[in-house]
């Protein structure tokens, strides 16, 4: 045994100690978070127990306790019972020692349950010493980043392997030890030294010693000031909450985090390895599962509710494939989010990204073919690129995939061609269907014909439970309430405003002409007397008084113009009015408007067309959302709200929907409730056994015709003949409407501002 062996053992010992030291440093950082969290969590538990009446103790004992005398004694909540303890309980007439012990045991059982489920919310607007200490402790781990987490994992694996080998190799550390060791001991030592040398050489090639040292430095650096920690928390709250949940949050609902998949599929997904070495952010547990699902099942729909980070799950799948040697990937998305995708890839991964958009897109395509990386393009641009051969694309990602649910559309056909030549395809959509289950089946057919066939035909829809089971191999969905315990409260308020006489007059004129679009925005047709505008200005003023940012959504450009004029003309509390962000604004400019809105210190108002800004953009700087009129599809409103109420939001979100009673608004609200049932039964987990009769909905155009006809009857107008060019057969658009007001939320049969009679389809002029 010579010098080389002794040096190998010494190198391994230094690496082992570096790993142990990093584990200690990380452990101290984690314990600092737990120590800071404990008093906050205890206070939250006490508040929760203070809200639970004594009568609830019956639930924990199967109704065996008699608690009337306890309540009459003044002990009315579970917390008061715990504070009193068995001694005081025994002083209550009719409560003996055994009963007192049972009451306390039941109270402790409830207390333990609350401890396991209570979620801590960090109030960025009202910091106190306890929450400041928690944020500062968390910042150490957030600043250290995913590289430190990977280094800790590497250190754990390395020390686990090196520990036993160093024990076996101990005789090789000195000449005398080797001379006095027995033959078997020497043989084990020599074998251990060989394994140590291989292990250490590999670690050195991978840069492990440097990674361990850097991680220890980052964990020991500490925070600068409490103000810096709070500022960082507001910018990266999702990362802070993710760490908090991982360290000591409530135990996750595994079934919910795994989308309630059947056991066999869930087990297969859990067994899928995930290499995140090229990812620059940490994943939450449910996000890692989503990436594994895409990898294990190969051709899937990720249908997570908006705000859960579908983009980062897609990026995790791409970086895993890149680490395995795949070189070319394609992301197809709406033009409005192309810039956001490009930024996300650059910021969150080490992958090269090439946008394929604009007049130079074909040159960019050729560059990407040679350079590799991720090509990001739009649905329309995709049609102009040659379809790849099999095996050329590591993964095709289609964002907002519900846009290709119509197989007759050119964009759908282009995606179908590309998907047919790609072994791995990931469709991403929080709204996989709107009106018909058949639409969802069309998406599934692009991925797996056999699964689509199992769903059943349109004439005999399966029940939702059977539906979910049938699509499980290709479909994964999780909801915010199941996996984001820290999400701030969402308060939705329907603001029913009695229309003014001027509003009523404008509405009657719109109904008389059978003009559905004019009916929807009659509340803004005469701004000087608009009841909705009065309430909107009040909400904006109140938000300004509290330093909150507001986003105002409408489907109509002219309504946004009226809102801007009203806000500019009247008194309000500070802050600029930004926008409107409409469908005619170029995609690059849309993101810049959102950035401008986010960068404003304090209050600001962003005006946005609901389709243009309701998809893909993150507007979580806003905590007040105003929707000027109800939309035809429930998911349009849900998407818009989810732009603000999503992972990373640090304030409660208040949503105000402005409505006028008795007319089109009230009818549309009722319609939205009915249409939402289909999505809840089929796209979410549901216990509904059979499809409801309205699972196959009538078209949006037919609904609009029905509403116009009913309103004309209610107001005493006689609907004109459908073919005469007026009345219920011509659900026209007010003459002031812009072309991009006729968005995907509206009936599809508009022709030159009018609707074709009797439901016949028309085409807008070129």
Handedness of CA 39, 43, 45, 46 (dihedral sign): positive
CA distances from 643 to 285, 552, 562, 621, 623 (A): 22, 12, 23, 10, 10
Q: Report residue 153 as tokens.
A: 């994992």
Tell whether the model's pLDDT for residue 69 goes beyond 70. yes
Name 242's Cβ contacts closer than 8 Å, sequence gap at least 6.
282, 284
Strand ranges for 206-321 from DSSP E: 299-302
Tokens of 168: 């076996």
pLDDT of residue 176: 54
**DSSP H or E stretch at residue 38:** helix 3-50
Q: Residue 376 belongs to what H/E stretch?
A: strand 373-378
Please report, for residues 278, 362, 371, the alpha-carbon distance to residue 352 in angstroms, rounded to integers and kept in the order given. Answer: 11, 18, 8
CATH number for the domain running over 488-661: 3.40.50.300
Supply the pLDDT for residue 136.
93
pLDDT at 282: 85
- Does the predicted TM-score (pTM) go above 0.85? no
Q: Phi then psi for 474, rounded to 5 degrees?
A: -125, 0
Residue 135: closest CA among 219, 47, 223: 223
The average pLDDT across 253-275 equals 90
How far apart are alpha carbons 133 and 41 in whole angstroms? 13
**170-182 pLDDT, tens per residue?**
776 665 565 555 6
Per-residue DSSP letter, 306: T
Domains 252-482 and 488-661 share a fold: yes
pLDDT, residue 504, reads 94
Q: What is the pLDDT of residues 506-530, one digit of tens each?
A: 999 999 999 999 999 999 999 999 9
- For the chain, count helices (H), then strands (E): 32, 15
Q: Is 623 within 8 Å of 548 (Cβ atoms)?
A: yes
pLDDT band at 167 (very low <50, low <70, confident <90, very high): confident
At 301-340, the pLDDT tens digits run: 998 877 788 999 999 999 999 999 999 999 999 887 788 7
What is the pLDDT at residue 476? 92
Residue (of 49, 29, 53, 51) closest to 41 by Cα position: 49
pLDDT at res. 114: 83
Q: Check the CA dihedral 97-99-101-103 and report its sign.
A: negative
With left for phi above 0 and alpha for psi between -120 and 50, is residue 164 left, alpha or beta? alpha
Using a 10 angstrom Cβ sphere, with 0-12 exposed, 13-18 middle and 19 or more buried, the burial of residue 446 is: buried
pLDDT for the residue 30: 93
Instruction: Over range 255-260, report the average pLDDT.
Output: 86
pLDDT at 179: 54
Residue 742 has pLDDT above 70, yes or no: no
User: How much is the pLDDT for 249?
Assistant: 59
Residue 120 has pLDDT above 60, yes or no: yes
Q: How does pLDDT run across 685-733, given as a tens digit for each residue?
A: 433 223 333 333 345 777 788 889 989 998 988 765 443 334 443 444 3
Ranges 116-120, 571-575, 600-604, 654-658: which has the least confidence? 571-575
Give the pLDDT of residue 695.
35
Q: Around Cβ 18, how many Cβ atoms within 10 Å?
A: 22
**Residue pair 524/532 in contact by the 8 Å Cβ criterion:** yes
pLDDT tens figures, 350-383: 999 999 998 999 999 999 999 999 999 999 999 9
Higher-pLDDT residue of 87 and 614 is 87
- Model pLDDT for residues 567-606, shown as the tens digit of each residue: 988 665 568 999 899 888 887 788 889 889 988 988 999 9
Q: CB under 8 Å to 584, separation ≥6 — which residues?
A: 738, 740
Give the integer Cα–Cα distance in Å for 401 and 429. Answer: 5
Q: Per residue in 615-650, pLDDT tens? A: 657 788 888 999 999 988 777 888 888 878 776 677
Range scoring the smallest mean pLDDT among 20-24, 407-411, 536-540: 536-540
Are the C-beta atoms of 493 and 710 separated by less than 8 Å? Answer: no
Give pLDDT, residue 458: 43
Q: What is the pLDDT of residues 204-252, one digit of tens each?
A: 999 999 999 999 999 998 777 888 888 888 878 888 888 888 887 555 6
Q: What is the pLDDT of residue 463?
A: 55
Rounded to whole angstroms, the Cα distance separating 623 from 645 reads 8
pLDDT at 457: 54
**Residue spans per domain, the chain:** 1-211, 252-482, 488-661
Distance CA 365, CA 354 (A): 8
pLDDT in the model for residue 205: 92
* pLDDT for res 468: 75
pLDDT of residue 440: 84
The predicted-structure confidence for 72-108, as pLDDT tens digits, reads as follows: 888 888 899 899 898 888 888 888 888 888 888 888 8
pLDDT averaged over the chain? 82
Name the CATH superfamily, with its identifier, for domain 252-482.
Tandem AAA-ATPase domain (3.40.50.10810)
> Which residues lie closer than 8 Å to 217 by C-beta, 6 or more apart?
none
| pLDDT at residue number 717 | 87
**Quick one: pLDDT at residue 62?**
63
């Amino acid at each position: 045994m010579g010098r080389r062996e002794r040096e190998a053992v010494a190198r391994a010992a230094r690496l082992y100690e570096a790993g142990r030291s990093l584990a200690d440093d990380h452990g101290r950082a984690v314990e600092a978070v737990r120590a800071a969290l404990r008093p906050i969590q205890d206070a939250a538990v006490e508040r929760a127990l203070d809200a639970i009446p004594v009568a609830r103790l019956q639930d924990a004992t199967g109704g065996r306790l008699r608690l009337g005398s306890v309540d009459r004694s003044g002990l009315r909540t579970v917390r008061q019972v715990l504070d009193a303890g068995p001694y005081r309980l025994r002083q209550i007439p009719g409560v003996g020692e055994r009963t007192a012990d049972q009451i306390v045991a039941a109270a402790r059982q409830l207390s333990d349950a609350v401890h396991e489920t209570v979620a801590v919310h960090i109030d960025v607007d009202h910091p106190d010493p306890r929450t400041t200490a928690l944020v500062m402790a968390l910042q150490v781990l957030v600043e250290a980043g995913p590289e430190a987490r990977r280094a800790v994992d590497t250190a754990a694996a390395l020390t686990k392997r090196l520990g036993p080998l160093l024990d076996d190799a101990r005789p090789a550390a000195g000449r005398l030890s080797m001379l006095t060791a027995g033959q078997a001991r020497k043989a084990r030592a020599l074998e251990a030294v060989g394994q140590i040398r291989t292990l250490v050489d590999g670690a050195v090639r991978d840069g492990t010693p440097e990674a361990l040292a850097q991680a220890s430095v980052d964990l020991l650096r500490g925070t600068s000031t409490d103000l810096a920690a709070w500022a960082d928390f507001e910018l990266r709250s999702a990362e802070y909450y993710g760490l908090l949940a991982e360290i000591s949050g409530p135990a996750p609902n595994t079934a919910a985090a795994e989308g309630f998949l059947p056991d066999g599929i869930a087990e297969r997904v859990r067994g899928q390895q995930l290499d995140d070495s090229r990812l620059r952010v940490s994943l939450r547990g449910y996000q890692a599962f989503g990436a594994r699902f895409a990898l294990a099942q190969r051709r899937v729909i990720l249908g997570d509710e908006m705000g859960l980070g579908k983009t980062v799950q897609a990026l995790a799948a791409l970086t895993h494939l890149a680490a395995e040697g795949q070189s070319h990937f394609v992301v197809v998305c709406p033009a409005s989010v192309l810039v956001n995708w490009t930024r996300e890839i650059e910021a969150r991964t080490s992958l090269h990204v090439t946008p394929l958009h604009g007049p130079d897109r074909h040159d960019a395509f050729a560059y990407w073919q040679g350079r590799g990386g991720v090509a990001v393009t739009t649905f329309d641009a995709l049609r102009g690129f040659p379809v790849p051969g099999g095996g050329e694309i590591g993964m095709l990602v289609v964002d907002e995939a519900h846009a290709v649910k119509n197989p007759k559309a050119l964009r759908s056909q282009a995606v179908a061609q590309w998907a047919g030549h790609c072994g791995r395809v990931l469709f991403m959509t929080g709204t996989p269907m709107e009106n018909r289950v058949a639409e969802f089946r069309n998406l599934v057919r692009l991925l797996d014909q056999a699964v689509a066939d199992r769903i059943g035909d349109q004439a005999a829809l399966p029940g939702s439970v059977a539906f979910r089971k049938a699509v499980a191999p290709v479909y994964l969905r999780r909801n915010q309430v199941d996996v984001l315990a820290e999400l701030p409260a969402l308060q939705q308020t329907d603001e029913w405003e009695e229309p003014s006489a001027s509003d009523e007059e404008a509405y009657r004129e719109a109904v008389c002409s059978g003009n559905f679009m004019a009916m929807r925005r009659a509340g803004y047709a005469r701004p000087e007397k608009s009841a909705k505008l009065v309430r909107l200005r009040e909400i904006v003023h109140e938000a300004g008084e509290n330093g909150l940012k507001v986003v105002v959504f409408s489907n109509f450009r002219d309504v946004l113009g009226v809102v801007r004029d009203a806000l500019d003309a009247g008194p309000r509390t500070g802050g600029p009015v930004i926008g409107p962000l409409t469908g005619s604004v170029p995609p690059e400019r849309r993101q810049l408007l959102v950035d401008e809105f986010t960068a404003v210190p304090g209050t600001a108002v962003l005006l946005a067309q609901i389709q243009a800004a309701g998809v893909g953009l993150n507007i979580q700087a806003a905590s007040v959302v105003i929707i000027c009129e109800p939309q035809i599809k429930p998911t349009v409103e849900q998407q818009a709200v989810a732009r603000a109420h999503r992972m990373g939001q640090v304030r409660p979100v208040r949503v105000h929907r402005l409505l006028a009673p008795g007319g089109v608004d009230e009818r549309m609200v009722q319609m939205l409730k009915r249409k939402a049932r289909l999505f809840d039964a089929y796209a979410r987990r549901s216990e509904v056994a059979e499809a409801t009769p309205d699972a196959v909905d009538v078209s949006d155009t037919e609904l609009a015709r029905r509403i116009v006809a009913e309103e004309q009857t209610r107001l005493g107008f006689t609907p004109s003949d459908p073919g005469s060019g007026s009345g219920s057969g011509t659900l026209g658009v007010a003459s002031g409407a812009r072309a991009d007001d006729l968005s995907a939320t509206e009936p599809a049969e508009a022709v030159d501002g009018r609707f074709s009679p009797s439901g016949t389809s028309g085409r807008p002029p070129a």
